[in-house]
Amino acid sequence: MIRLVGVGKTYEDGTVAVQELDLDVQRGELVVLVGPSGCGKSTTLKMINRLIEPTSGQIFIDGQDVTQADPVQLRRGIGYVIQQIGLFPHQKVIRNVMTVPLLYGESTATARERARELLDLVGLDAATYGDRYPHQLSGGQRQRVGVARALAANPPVLLMDEPFGAVDPVVRIRLQDEFLKIQRELGKSVVLVTHDIDEAVRMGDRVAVFETGGRLAQFGTPAQLLAHPADEYVEDFVGATRGLRRLTVTPIDPEHLEPLDGVSTGDLGSAIDVDATLEEALAAMLRDDKPLVGVRSGAQFVGVLTPAGIHRQLRASLK
């Protein structure tokens, strides 16, 4: 869907922001660019919608070279969400979201209907919030309006620059979860920039770890990065607690569960779903203060997990 081939950007003052970057984003995939401040993440994002022109290389969207595309036409097919969302302060929320459909020549009634649907989609009741002005919303609510507006054109591609940056950690996780749900429903191809490795690992189908100077240090699934950091830099960046993070990204493998036979009912706390992650399994054991946790598929018990079993599953997932 999106392909960067040998893309580089050197600013006029000689700053090398991005070097020789090769990157691809499949249709419906969410790719996260992560790295320390100034490593070239935003520059990369803005080259995709041509807010910044690359100094070398090529960028293709759906096989079309973006440098050959009309920038205005190009940006209409690409939603763009930034941290300072840039809502129009003197327009009501509903009007802010309607801007895009109106731009596309929809009637006011259709645009209003579409804006209502989108606000609902991002979890804002249009009747309650539609008639407010942006300053009458919380940071998290404003962020949602930004996402609704970016989705309004129904673009196949969405670029997001620190979209959840301005909100507190609890709201941030909720927004991340909600966005992942929307993303799965709508199947957009998304490139998301963050400096937060936890956000990267939670959200990315694949994660690109950047190093200062615009070098791509590693590109892979969260599980690959955490289990096999390519070099010391990535190892350091994913952190000493990467073992814990691996629990978050490793799903339960039903093949490696232990049988339920012989387990005393006293040892069994609540059961978790077979679609859960190892982190959720361990969390259930700790919460219930039990040495194991039951795993079910629908109403059916399929086995149990113990801490040793979690360790075995983590090891098996490396293979």
Ligand X SMILES: Nc1ncnc2c1ncn2[C@@H]1O[C@H](COP(=O)(O)OP(=O)(O)OP(=O)(O)O)[C@@H](O)[C@H]1O
> Using CB under 6 A as the criterion, which residues of the chain lie in contact with ligand X when the complex forms?
11, 13, 15, 17, 35, 37-43, 195
Q: Are 209 and 237 in contact (CB under 8 A)?
A: yes
CB 131 within 8 A of CB 92: yes
Q: Which is nearer to ligand X, 43 or 306 (CB)?
A: 43
Question: Could you tell me the smallest distance in angstroms from the CB atom of residue 200 to ligand X?
Answer: 13
Closest approach of ligand X to the CB of residue 214, in Å: 7
- Please report how close the Cβ of residue 179 comes to ligand X at its closest, in angstroms: 19
| 36 vs 243, beta carbon nearer ligand X | 36
Cβ 45 vs Cβ 70: under 8 Å: no
**Residue placing its CB nearer to ligand X in the complex, 39 or 111:** 39
Q: Which is nearer to ligand X, 12 or 255 (CB)?
A: 12
**Alpha carbons 26 and 256: distance in angstroms, whole number:** 31
> What does the alpha-carbon distance between residue 179 and residue 163 come to, in Å, rounded to a whole number?
10
Nearer to ligand X, 158 or 284 (CB): 158
CB of 171 to ligand X, least distance (A): 20
DSSP character string of 179-214: HHHHHHHH--EEEEEES-HHHHHHH-SEEEEEETTT
**Backbone angles phi and psi of 248, in degrees to 5:** -65, -35
CA distance to 32, 97, 188, 225, 254, per residue, from 221 (Å): 10, 34, 18, 6, 21
Least separation in angstroms between residue 66's CB and ligand X is 18
